Every structure is written in C-alpha cells, then in structure tokens.
C-alpha cells in the first residue's frame, strides 16, 4: 500500500480532488486527540492501492495553529510515500510558499497544478516543465472539476513512490543565516536519534526561527545545550 497525503492552501480544490481520487468513499474520523476531522480513502490505479489522507488546508507549516501542526506532524512522523501538494494555478505566488516548506521538510512532493483552466482563462502562461525543473519535483496540470489530468497525476505519484533517490532543492537564506544554520546542523548531527527523526537542515532552520514545538523536542536531547547555544 502506498501512503499518499494531500495538502494545499485553503480553497485550492483539495476536497474535490480527494473525492475524485477516492471515488467519494471516505473514512471520516478525528486526528488522535484533536477535534479536527481526518478523512482517508483508498485509490486504485493500475493494480496499485494507495491510501489517501486528506491533511487540513494550510498556508504554511508553522507550529502556530493546530491545523498546521497536524499537517506537519503527519509529514514528519508518518513519512507518507508521496505528498500531493495541490497548488492553485491561478494563484501561484502565494501557493508556492507552502510548496517550499514541503521541500524544506524533504517530503516526496508531486505538485497538482489545479484550476489550470482558470489560470489559462486569466491569460496566465505557466511553463510547467521549467517549474518542475526549478523545484525538482513532478508538476502535473489538473482540473479537478472535469477530472482533467488525474490519470497523469496518479502516474506521477506511482513514479515518485518508486523512486529511491531524489534531487534535493534547498532555499538559501543568505550568508549570515546559512552560517548559523550549518553550525546548528553540525551539533544536531551529534544526536543520532534526533537527526534520524527529522531532516537536519529543516530542524536547524526551525530552531533559528524559535519554533516552540521543535524547541521542546530539542530540550529533550542530551546535546540540548550545544544545539541551543547558537541561538542563546
């Protein structure tokens, strides 16, 4: 079974895409210990079974709201095989912020460039191949309302799930921040447990940001003083 998570900004057509993929048959429950709805369904394509998990719609992946924390924890802790990032093609700039955060989290991302018809009618010309090259992930134009591009999307998900090695794209933050990031990263690597559970660069960035959940996690480490020294 291939585990697939769906994520995207609010109002990108995520629920519709979920229904298209699962045929509308969803198992609805709550996220453990939270009163936030969790939807799961099964998608079969070319003899493969995929479990589709619908993550809450978010603009970002900080620790400030429960929705964002659920989405982030799922990706970090459950490590789904593929994360379908649904991007509103008519609103690329704002949507790609979440995409960059997913890449920073080292998730195995496939982008569904949804509402592609609307983007076209607005006169937007998106160079899909170039976008894919820059981000280092597969980008598939889709229109969830007419099911356009869904087969191609599933094809891309299967390909991505089978891939062992991925090209990693990282976003530079300028000399001063990079220096701190690599300093923190080096100390994180001393803690084998911590560095096996989280992508180390991401962890270092979150520490630098002062992310409360992550700081709590680091406090448990034997090397906490060394790791946190940089930000004190």
Q: Which of 164, 116, 163, 150 has the alpha carbon at shortest distance from 44?
A: 150
Range in contact with another protein (rule: CB under 8 A) among 54-62, 72-80, 108-116, 154-162: 54-62
Residue from 27, 44, 64, 222 binding another protein (CB under 8 A): 64
Question: Taking CB under 8 A as the rule, does residue 59 contact another protein?
Answer: yes
Question: Alpha-carbon distance 155 to 160, whole Å?
Answer: 9
Tokens of 161: 């799930």
How many residues of this chain bind another protein (CB under 8 A)?
9
Beta pairing class for 48-54 and 2-8: parallel
Is residue 173 at the binding interface for another protein, with CB under 8 A as the rule?
no
Q: Which residues contact 149 (CB under 8 A, 6 or more apart)?
A: 112, 116, 140, 141, 142, 143
Q: CB of 53: closest distance to another protein in angstroms?
A: 22
Contact present, 65 and 58 (Cβ < 8 Å): yes
Scanning 34-42, 56-64, 132-140, 176-184 for contacts with another protein by CB under 8 A, the matching segment is: 56-64
Strands (E), 118-181: 138-141
Q: Which range, of 87-95, 137-145, 161-169, 222-230, touches another protein by CB under 8 A?
A: 87-95
Interaction of residue 132 with another protein, rule CB under 8 A: no
Rule CB under 8 A: say whether 208 interacts with another protein: no
Contact call for residue 216 and another protein (CB under 8 A): no
Whether residue 9 contacts residue 95, with contact meaning beta carbons closer than 8 Å, is answered with: yes
Q: For residues 20 and 207, what is the distance between their CA atoms, to the nearest angstrom?
A: 39
Nearer to another protein, 97 or 173 (CB): 97
Tokens of 183: 């300093």
Binding mask 97-126 for another protein (x = CB under 8 A): x-----------------------------
Nearer to another protein, 24 or 174 (CB): 174
E-assigned strands of 70-133? 82-88, 109-114
Query: Closer CB to another protein, residue 193 or residue 209?
Result: 209
Q: Does residue 129 belong to the site contacting another protein (CB under 8 A)?
A: no
Q: Does 91 bind another protein (CB under 8 A)?
A: yes
Q: Tell how strand 82-88 and strand 2-8 pair up.
A: parallel
Q: Which residues bind another protein (CB under 8 A)?
A: 59-60, 62, 64, 90-91, 93-94, 97
């Amino acid at each position: 079974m291939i585990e697939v998570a769906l994520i995207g900004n609010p109002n990108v057509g995520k629920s519709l895409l979920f229904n298209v993929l699962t045929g509308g048959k969803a198992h609805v429950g709550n996220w453990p210990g939270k009163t936030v709805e969790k939807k799961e369904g099964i998608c079969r394509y070319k003899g493969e079974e995929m479990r589709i998990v619908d993550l809450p719609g978010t603009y970002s992946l900080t620790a400030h709201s429960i929705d964002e924390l659920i989405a982030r924890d799922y990706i970090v802790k459950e490590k789904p095989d593929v994360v379908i990032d649904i991007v509103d093609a008519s609103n690329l700039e704002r949507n790609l912020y979440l995409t960059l955060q997913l890449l920073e989290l080292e998730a195995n991302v496939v982008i569904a460039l949804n509402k592609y018809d609307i983007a076209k009618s607005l006169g937007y010309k998106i160079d899909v191949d170039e976008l894919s090259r820059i981000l280092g992930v597969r980008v598939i134009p889709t229109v969830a309302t007419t099911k356009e591009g869904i087969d191609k999307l599933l094809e891309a998900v299967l390909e991505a799930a089978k891939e062992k090695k991925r090209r990693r794209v990282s976003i530079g933050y300028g000399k001063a921040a990079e220096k701190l990031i690599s300093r923190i990263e080096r100390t994180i690597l001393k803690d084998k447990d911590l560095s096996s559970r989280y992508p180390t660069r991401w962890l270092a960035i979150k520490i630098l940001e002062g992310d409360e959940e992550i700081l709590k996690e680091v406090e448990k480490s034997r090397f906490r003083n060394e790791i946190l020294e940089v930000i004190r």
